[in-house]
Homo-oligomer: A and B are copies of this chain.
Amino acid sequence: MSDPVLARLQADREGIVARLVEYASAPSVSTDPAYLDGMKAARDILKARLQTAGFDAVQELEAGGHPAVYAEWLDAPDAPTFIVYGHYDVQPPDPLELWKSPPFSPEIRDGRLFGRGVSDDKGPVSIAIETLATFLAVEGRLPVNVRLLIEGEEEVGSATLGAILEKHRGLLSADAVISADGARWRADLASINTGSRGNMRLEIALRTAAKDLHSGRFGGAVRNALHEMAALLSSLHHPDGSIAIEGYTHDVAPLDDAERARIVALPFDEADFFKAIGASAHGEPGYPALEQLWHRPTIEVNGMWGGYQGAGSKTVTPAESFAKLTTRLAPGQDPARAGELIEEHLRRHCPDGVELSIDRSDSGTAAYTLPAGHPLLAAAEQALEIALGTAPVRVRTGGTLPLSDIVRRVLGLDTIMMSFSTADEDFHAPNEFFRLSAIDDGVKTWVAFLRLLANQTPENYAPFKQSR
C-alpha cells in the first residue's frame, strides 16, 4: 500500500523540478557583493514557497550578514522538534567560459540538471521543502515539529550563523538538527554521513619593493614577489604532499584500529576514484585515500596571483603577490591553533626584505562527529533502508558543514546530514549538476524518515543535548 504523501510527491515530479529550476535561476553568490540582488531573489522565492505551503512565522533572521530564511510548524505537541537546515547561497560561477550552459539558467541533459548551486544546496533543500509541503497538503500536518532554517552564508564559512542562533535562541529551541546539506558519498551506495572536517581560511600578501620594477633595469639584483610567493607556498608541503608545518598534525585524533579496518573494508576503488577526476593520488605516505580525506587535515592554496596575466608578455619584476588559502581540519584540531601554526610557519619562512601580510580574521570551524548512539542516526539508517532497499554504510565527508560545529557550540545540538546531492556533482567547479534521480530517492527517504521520527519523543534526545 503506497504512502499517500509519497504518492503525491511522485505524481508531482515535474512540478518539483520546475520549482527547483526557478529557484536555481537566482544567482545567489554570497561571497561577491555584485550578487546581492541574486541573494534577495533566492530568499523571496523561498519565503513565497513556505508561505504557500502553510508554514508559520515565515521571516528573515539577520545578524549583520546575509539573512537566513526561517519558517516553523510546531503543532505536534508530543513529538520532538527539529531544525531542518540548508543554505540558499552558492559558490561563484567562474571560470564562466568553462560552463557548457549558463550557470544560472539551469538546463537538463541526460537526467541531470546543470547549474550553479543545483547540487550544493538548492536541490537537496528543495527535496526537504517539497516533502514537508506535501505532508501539509495531504495530511494537514507534519509528523514532527519543524523549524526550517535556510542560511545565506554557508559558502563563506557561515560567518554570522552563530550570531543569528544567539540572537534568535527562542525561535530555535529544538532537539536536534537535520541538515539537507552535506552530500551523499556516492550515487551507487547507500550511506549516512556521520561527520565532517572543519576549515579555516586566510589570505597572504607579499611586497618586495615600493613598486613594480623593470626586469631589465633591476632584474637579478632585487627580490621578485612572485619568486618569494612560490618559495613561501612551496614550503607548506613536502614533495610527497604531506604538510611541512611543524606540529600541525599533533592534535589530530588518532583513528583506532577497528575504525581504520572498517574504512579500509568499505567498497571503494582508489584507482577508479582518481581516474574519474583525471588526477593521481598524492598525499601523506601511509594513509589510504579515504582516511586521508576524512581524518587528516589539509592546507590548500585556492588562489595565487601576481604580476602580468594579460595577452603577450610584460617584462616586469612584480613587487606584490597574493594567495588565498584554506585548510580542512581533522577531528581534534582547534581552528585557532591551526591558524597560529600556519602564521608562525609563514613568518619563519619569509626572508628579510619581504613584507608579509596575513589576514587571519576567519575564526574557522572545527571538525564534527555525530555521537554513534544518537537517536537521529538510527532513524536515518532505517529510513534509508526502507527507501532504498539496502542498509546504508556509515561514512564521513572531507568537506565542512560549519553548521554542525556552530549549533553544537551555540545551541548544544547534534546534526545529522540528510542530503541527496552526491560528492561527484562538481559543486565548487564549472558545470555543477544534480542527478534528478536523487529527487526520487530523496522524497522516499524523507517521507520514511519523518514518519519514523514521529515515534520518538523529546526525551530520547535529552541525553545528547548540552546546555552551553
Q: Which of B217, B234, B304 is the one whose CB lies under 8 Å from A305? A: B304
User: How far, in Å, is A224 (CB) from chain B's closest CB?
Assistant: 6
Asked if A398 is at the interface of the complex by the 8 Å CB criterion, the answer is: yes
Q: How far is the CA of A292 from the CA of B309 in the complex (A)?
A: 27
Can you list, as one digit per residue, whether each of A277-313 has a CB less than 8 Å from chain B (1) or not (0)? 1111111100001001100111011111111111111
**Interface centre among A199, A220, A277, A400, by most B CB within 10 Å?**
A220
Task: Tell whether, in the assembled complex, residue A300 and residue B215 are in contact, meaning their CB atoms are under 8 Å apart.
Answer: yes
Q: How far is the CA of A156 from the CA of B308 in the complex (A)?
A: 14
User: Which of chain A's residues 374-411 have a Cβ closer than 8 Å to chain B?
Assistant: 397-400
Q: How far is the CA of A316 from the CA of B324 in the complex (A)?
A: 10
Asked if A188 is at the interface of the complex by the 8 Å CB criterion, the answer is: no
Q: Which of A46-54, A163-171, A427-435 contacts B (4 or more CB under 8 A)?
A: A427-435
Q: Which of B277, B315, B428, B431 is the one whose CB lies under 8 Å from A428? A: B315
Asked if A326 is at the interface of the complex by the 8 Å CB criterion, the answer is: yes
Task: Tell whether, in the assembled complex, residue A400 and residue B216 are in contact, meaning their CB atoms are under 8 Å apart.
Answer: yes
Q: Which of B279, B296, B309, B324 is the one whose CB lies under 8 Å from A222? A: B279
Can you list, as one digit per residue, whether each of A119-145 has a CB less than 8 Å from chain B (1) or not (0)? 000000000000000000000000000
Residues on B with C-beta less than 8 A from A300 are: 215, 219-220, 224, 227, 315, 317
- How many protomers of this protein does the assembly include? 2
Q: Which of B279, B284, B303 is the one whose CB lies under 8 Å from A218? A: B279
Asked if A237 is at the interface of the complex by the 8 Å CB criterion, the answer is: yes
User: How far, in Å, is A411 (CB) from chain B's closest CB?
Assistant: 24
Residues on B with C-beta less than 8 A from A233 are: 226-227, 230
Asked if A258 is at the interface of the complex by the 8 Å CB criterion, the answer is: no
Given contacts A312-B31, A317-B300, A400-B216, are A277 and B234 in contact (CB under 8 A)?
no
Q: How many residues of A contact B (CB 8 A)?
A: 101
Task: Tell whether, in the assembled complex, residue B222 and residue A277 are in contact, meaning their CB atoms are under 8 Å apart.
Answer: yes
Asked if A351 is at the interface of the complex by the 8 Å CB criterion, the answer is: yes
Residues on B with C-beta less than 8 A from A324 are: 307-309, 313-314
Residues of A in contact with B (beta carbons under 8 Å apart): 30-33, 91-92, 94, 98, 156-157, 183, 196-197, 199, 201, 203, 208-224, 226-227, 229-234, 236-237, 239, 241, 274, 277-284, 289, 292-293, 296-298, 300-319, 321-324, 326, 328, 351-353, 362, 397-400, 423, 426-431
> 10 closest Cβ contacts across the A-B interface?
A216-B399, A210-B278, A31-B312, A280-B353, A303-B307, A209-B279, A230-B233, A220-B298, A303-B308, A226-B301
Q: Taking A209-B279, A214-B427 as given, write out 9 further A-B residue pairs in contact, using a Cβ cutoff of 8 Å, ordered by the A residue number.
A: A213-B428, A216-B397, A220-B293, A220-B298, A226-B304, A303-B307, A303-B308, A304-B305, A308-B324
22 A-B residue pairings within 8 Å (CB atoms): A32-B310, A32-B312, A91-B314, A98-B211, A156-B312, A210-B279, A212-B429, A217-B293, A217-B398, A218-B279, A218-B398, A226-B323, A229-B230, A230-B232, A231-B239, A280-B352, A301-B307, A302-B318, A303-B318, A304-B304, A309-B322, A315-B399
